[in-house]
Structure 1
Amino acid sequence: MAELWLRSFAVALSTVRRAHDDDNVRRWFADVVVPQRETWVAVVDGVVCGLLVLSDAELEQLYLEPAWRGRGLGDQFIELAKTRRPNGLELWTFQVNESAQRFYVRHGFVEVERTDGLRNEEREPDARFVWRP
């Protein structure tokens, strides 16, 4: 999962400064994400090609292998997230990630807040989106 996250982040968010090096990302997945979050993966031919991480009502992570973008996998993950959290979801995305914002809006999320990024580790302006059924 961490390897997919690293590849996807590098492609989708190439202008965003990462707050943690590769080894710290791997440890975070092993020590925090997998044991403490509701985590779903899509696997094709034994390789993780997508991941979804939910924490309470937050859609915390949705990352796809770059080759799997635009093939419906993200749509399936959003439907799964809505099924798992039928009372609503919220998420943060970086403002520079316009394709993610279009994706979430297409799935019924509404932007409710923008920040200057001072509250996230990357110090990157971000936006909060909410979905309510």
Structure 2
Amino acid sequence: MVIFTCSGQHAPVNSGQFDFYGWMPNGPSSMRKPPPSGKGATYQIILDTLPEVNTTTLAMATVWLLSHEPEDKRPVGNYTNERFTEEKPRQHIKEFQRELDQISKEIQARNQNVTLQHLYLDPKRIESSVSI
């Protein structure tokens, strides 16, 4: 459960933040007034409600940093240090890596025929841990 939470669950929540919140109306980081409660909100009411430019810039910089792929990225299943020398654990690791590769191929195949690709759960893009 810990491994999944720190990799597979964290990746789609974290990696897409800038894609969705980079356009501030999708999820304003703050609001200066309560949101309009009924129909008929004017353009000026909306502008008065949304955060100021400096607040928006800070929020966008934050989600960009959180979403940015690290330079030392290690995809899930990619183990640079050999921790096990016994045959049985090594077989399990190889099987796990084959399954991740198959999942990645299936995701990439599905993405070929769609306009908006879903990339966040592709094992090749999932970090092995929570790293920012």
Q: Same fold (TM over 0.5)?
A: no
TM-score range normalised by the length of the shorter chain: under 0.3
The structure with the greater share of residues assigned to helix is 2
* TM-score when normalising by structure 2: 0.22
Structure having greater relative contact order (Cα 8 Å, sep ≥ 6): 2
